[in-house]
Structure 1
Amino acid sequence: MPFLSQTLARVKPSPTVAVTQLARELAAQGKDVISLGAGEPDFDTPDNIKSAAIAAINAGKTKYTAPDGIAELKEAICAKFARENGLSYTPAQVSVSTGGKQVLYNALMATLNPGDEVIIPAPYWVSYPDMTLMAGGTPVIVDTSIDTGFKLTAAQLEAAITPDTKWLLFNSPSNPTGAGYSWDELKALTDVLLRHPHVHVMTDDMYEHLAYDGFAFCTPAEVEPQLYDRTLTVNGVSKAYAMTGWRIGYAAGPEPLIAAMRKVQSQSTTNPCSISQWAAVEALNGPQDFLAERAAAFLRRRDLVVSALNEAPGIACPVPEGAFYVYPSIAGCLGKTSAGGAHIANDEDFATALLNETGVAVVFGAAFGLSPHFRISYATSDEALAEACRRIRVFCEGLRA
C-alpha cells in the first residue's frame, strides 16, 4: 500500500517464526507434526527464578523502571561478565532490553547512517540483515562454507572491510550452525580488526553456556582487550536459563553507545518487564549448577541427531561445537523428486516437501543466507528427535532422480 514505509518494503518477516507458526496451525488441524523450527529450550524455567518473579509481584515491583534496566540487574550483569568472561564493566555501561533482539536493534538504530556497512557472516541469524536494513545500513554478507566449519576466516574479514564498514556482527556459538570459534580463531579475526580502528564489533553471545566436547567459549573483548572500547557484548537469559518468553536481553559496551541505545529504547518500548527483570537478577546471581546438566542433555541430543541425519542418503551433517542447532547440507538431494511428486530444486523445496509429506518442520537454509542446507533445532525431546530423524531418512530414501 502506498502509505507504508519504503524501508519496510526491504524487510522480510522472520522465516523461523513463520515456520513455527505454520507447524502450530497444522497441528491445530489435527496433523501429526514434529516442529524442529523454534530456537527455544524445551526445559522449564528453574523454580528459583519463577519464585523470584512471584516474590517481585507480591512485593509490588510492578511499576515502571529505569528505561534500560533496574540497578540490581545491571549489577548482576556486571558481576556475570567479571565472573565468566573476565570483563570489567560499570552499570553505566550496561543496557537491558526486551530480549536480545531489541538490544541488537537498538544498537543498530543508534549507530547506523545511510551507507554504513555491517559485515555479517553467512549463515546468519535471520534477523541480522533485516534489522540492519531497517536501521538504514547496508548488510555485507560474507559466505562461509561447510568445509571451514561455517566460520569466517581472517582473510575473508580483511577483504570485506571498506571505509564504510561500521560493525562486524558476530555470533558464536552460532545460530543456525552451532559453530563456535576457538580462542585462536577469534584472535585471528581480532588481529584484523586492530588494523581497522573504524570498525566496531557487535558480538551475540546468547549460546555461551551451550558448548560441547571441551569447546571453551570466549568473546572478542576477552580475547583482545584492545577492542574493549569498540565492542558491544550482547547476551541474555533466554537460552541458557530457558526464559525465552520472559524477554530479557542485555549488553555491555562503551558508555556513549549505551546512552544512545537508552535514548532509542526510551522512545520505543521504555523499560523491559519489571517482573522479568527481577527474575533475571535471580537467574544471574542464583545457582548455576543446572546449566551443566542441561548442556549434557543437549549434547546427547546433538549426537543423536548428527548420527541419524548422516544415515540419510544425500545429507551431510557436520558436528557443531555449541548451541542447539545442526545445519546439514542437502546437496545430494537436489535435482531429485520426492515420493509425493515434489521436485527438489533447492532447500526451500526440500523443507516444504518434508513438511507436507512427513510432518517434520525445519527451516530452509536460504532463510539464513546459505544454501543448500536446512536447520534443525534439537531443543526438544529425544523421542521427538529420533522420530523426526527417522522420517527425514525415509523421505530421503524415497527421493528419485
Structure 2
Amino acid sequence: MTTPVYVTGMSVTAPTGLGLEPFWDGLLAGRSGIAPLTRFDTTRFPATLAGQITGFEAADHLPSRLLPQTDVSTRLALVTADWALAHAKVDPSTLTDYDMGVVTSNAAGGFEFTHREFQKLWSVGSQAVSVYESFAWFYAVNTGQISIRNGMRGPSSALVAEQAGGLDAIGHARRTVRRGTPLVLTGGVDSALDPWGWISQIAGGRVSRATDPARAYLPFDAAAAGYVPGEGGAVLVLEDAAAARSRGVQAVHGEIAGYASTFDPPPGSERPPGLRRAAELALADAGVSPAEVDVVFADALGVAGPDRAEAEAITGVFGPHGVPVTAPKSLYGRLYSGGGPADVVTALLAIRDGVIPGTAGTAEVPDDYAIDLVRGPARPAPVSTALILARGLWGFNAAVVVRAV
C-alpha cells in the first residue's frame, strides 16, 4: 500500500493577496489583481496589463544580507515558504536536516536580476557586475535559497516545464516523501515583469493586448484573445502521514492523491494532445473515478484553439457538462510555475470551505465547448476531490488530484 502524502501547510503570494487568507478572500470577493504594469514605461509595448504584486516589501520579511543576492522571484519564494512553514507549525531547527527536502519549479529564472546585471556589463563593464549573478539567475536558485535558509539538506530538486512545472514539482515532492524523506517543501514562484522579461513573454504571441483589465483575460470565452502574465505562486508543506502524526500535526489540509505528466505529439501529428491522458492517469493514480471529482481547475490559456482543446479533454473524461470547471487565475493572470501550485492551494481551500471560486470576466462560452464553467460569483458546493490541470509551452502537460482527508 502506498503511503498517503498530506498537505500540512501552504501559502500564496499573488496579485490578489499576500498570504493564504488574503488570497482566498480576494478570490471569493472577485477582486482583480490585473492592472496596468507600472514597473517601467510600457507605452511602446503592445501589451500593458499584468498581474503585478503590490504592497510587498522584501526588507520587511527577509534579512538585509539576502536582498543583494536575490531576484524578486526568489524573495517571493522565500517569504511564501516561510509562511507555509508557519501555517504547518514547522520549526525546521527542531527537525533533522536530512529529513527535510525542497522541490520547486521555475520558468523564468531570476529574470529581473540577471538583466539588470547585463545592463551594468554593457554600460559600465564587467567590474560592475554583481558576484551574485553567478547563481541569482538560475532556475534552481529558489530551491537552493529555501534549503539554505531553513537548513533543509534532504533530497531536493528543481524542475522546469513552464506552466506545467509547478504541478510536476508537487508530483516529484510526493515521490520524494514516499521514498523516505518525511517532509518536503514544494511549489513554484515566478516573476518576469521587467522590460526584457516582458518582451520575451509578448514574443510568444499569446499575451492579451487588451487595455480593459476586466476584458483582458477571458478563459473559454468566445472573445478570448490571450492571457495576462502575472507574478507570484504558492508553496506547500508535504509530509508522510506517519511523520505528520509523530510531529503532532493537528490540521491536515488534504492529500496529494494523484499525479501524472504527459507530453504532446509533435505539430502535425495525427495523435491527440496529451492533456486528457494526463488527467486520466492522475485519476487512476489516485484511484478516483471521474464521477467522484467535484471540480476541475483548468489550465485556461485564454486562447481559442488551446481553450477548445482543453474543453475537449475535459468533456472526454467527464462527458458534456459533467463536472464544474473553474479558472480563478483570470483574476490574477498566469503565474507560470506558480500557477499550478496556486490552483492546488485554491482547490484545498475549496474543499475546506465548500465553495468553488468563479472565473471572472468570461461571459459567453461557446456551446460546443460543453463545459460547466463556474462564472462570476463563487458557487457554494461540497468539494472533497479536485483535479488540477496545467500545460506548458512546447507540449508539457501535468495533472494533480487532491482530496479531503
Q: What TM-score results when the alignment is normalised by the length of structure 1?
A: 0.28
* Higher CA-based Rg: 1
More strand by share: 2
